Amino acid sequence: MAALVDTRRVLLKLKGFPQLIPRRYRVKKKWAATLPRITSTKLALQNFDVNYGTQFGERWPSIRISLLSEQKYGALINNFSSAQELMKGLELQGARDFVYEARARTWSPGSVGGKPRGGEELVWSSSLAAGQSGSEVPLSSQVGEGMEMAAATEPPSLSPNIKCFTFPKGDVTGFSPARLDGSGLLGYYLLDAASVLPVLALDVQPGHTVLDLCAAPGGKTLALIQTQACWRLAANDSSVSRTGRLRRILQSYIPREHSTEDRVRITSFDGRRWGELESNTFDRVLVDVPCTTDRHSLLEEENNIFTRSRSKERQTLPLLQSQLLLAGIKAALPGGVVLYSTCTLSQLQNECVVDRAVQVAHEELGVTVHIEDLSPLTQLFRDTFNFAQGMRLGELVLPHLTSNFGPTYFCKLRRVN
């Protein structure tokens, strides 16, 4: 710390071996020749300021502060535990199941009053967004249109049985850690509520075989199992230690009879090989690729991908991601759905990867992939999450201080042949 007191002191130079001189009299002869090391979190922040500053422009400060502040969690209910009482308890605390409420709105689009917040609170009251879009459409009319759209078009088909509780917008209450119930299972799993969206979008129907290509640490895999619609689930992760963690999580949440080897298969292969291993096998494939995990990189020093020693790894990430996506496409059945998701804001890791994978699939494999529109889904959940407007490909959940979920990017691809 810069001290007000003058730090130059006259040091006594005593002759003799350093070991014989008391520490307080030793003279420092060698001064640092290298620059101080900048922490990796700081490097990450600098990197983001440059890249996302240009990508998002006026919206970046709002996103930046949300990333640097404490994130908001959602509680994924464990259907195998005593779910009903748990849900009542959470509702008493003020949390609501956003999946249920969104669905309730599709059943009766007129009655928005079912939600406790009345539905008028659609103002992402950030003048930044208004400035960015430039159009002065009052938000109430947008609400009206949205409701009509939802009623007119088919409500999006979502994976069933997923229940995730969150506190309302602007509420910063936290969930207490989950407790073990009578049968030795935990009641809920705390995760970023935006991570549930890719699983919902995947639209797993009963009887499907599902592949989760990069399953660890296990949040999305757990959600997939909660749907109780996976006839067979293959969960894979390239890292053995993380697969171990995945196993432990499944042990705490899923009763043994539901996670037997034939129902849930956990492996530790390299995901890129799946094209050769099991091509044309799966109805649904979830490709939740390793990415720069923006939120984690800004706050945690440990295992940070922005350390200088991992810069090569970071620069080859997009290549790895497109290879994984390609493998996922190969592993899917014709007519199957592949869902690509990341937790970063970077276009290089999101849209560009999808573009490249689709292109390569078309040119080298002759596989046509059709990208499905997810706007009905975003319409459903726009009360809980802050979606980016004007996305060319896929959907992006932007963190905002009032709903500090994300960043999550997801894109739904359907293999046509």
Active site residues: 343
Q: Restricting to residues 325-384, which ones interact with another protein according to CB under 8 A?
A: 343
Overall size of the chain counted in residues: 417
Rule CB under 8 A: say whether 126 interacts with another protein: yes
Rule CB under 8 A: say whether 60 interacts with another protein: yes
Task: Report the distance separating Cα 273 and Cα 387, nearest Å.
Answer: 33
Task: Report the distance separating Cα 14 and Cα 20, nearest Å.
Answer: 10
Nearer to another protein, 200 or 358 (CB): 200
Rule CB under 8 A: say whether 296 interacts with another protein: yes
Q: Restricting to residues 393-412, which ones interact with another protein according to CB under 8 A?
A: 400-402
Rule CB under 8 A: say whether 32 interacts with another protein: no
Q: What amino acid is encoded at 402 in this protein?
A: T
Contact residue for another protein among 85, 270, 300, 313 (CB under 8 A): 300
Nearest to 214 by CA among 237, 191, 234, 242: 237
Rule CB under 8 A: say whether 49 interacts with another protein: yes
Rule CB under 8 A: say whether 86 interacts with another protein: no
Rule CB under 8 A: say whether 61 interacts with another protein: yes
Kindly give, in sequence order, each residue whose CB lies less than 8 Å from that of residue 284, ignoring residues fewer than 6 positions away.
202, 203, 204, 208, 209, 210, 211, 332, 336, 337, 338, 339
Contact residue for another protein among 38, 68, 137, 149 (CB under 8 A): 68
Tell how strand 208-212 and strand 282-288 pair up. parallel
**How many C-beta atoms surround the C-beta of residue 80 within 10 A?**
19
Kindly give, in sequence order, each residue whose CB lies less than 8 Å from that of residue 414, ignoring residues fewer than 6 positions away.
335, 336, 337, 338, 369, 370, 371, 372
Whole-Å CA distances, 165 to 71, 89, 168, 177, 287: 15, 11, 10, 14, 24
CB of residue 236 to another protein, shortest distance in Å: 17
Q: Restricting to residues 141-200, which ones interact with another protein according to CB under 8 A?
A: 170, 172, 177-178, 186, 188-192, 195
Contact residue for another protein among 21, 128, 348, 371 (CB under 8 A): 128
Interface positions with another protein (CB under 8 A): 1-2, 4, 49, 60-62, 64-65, 68-70, 125-128, 170, 172, 177-178, 186, 188-192, 195, 217-219, 241-242, 245, 248-249, 252-253, 293, 295-296, 300, 302-303, 305, 343, 400-402
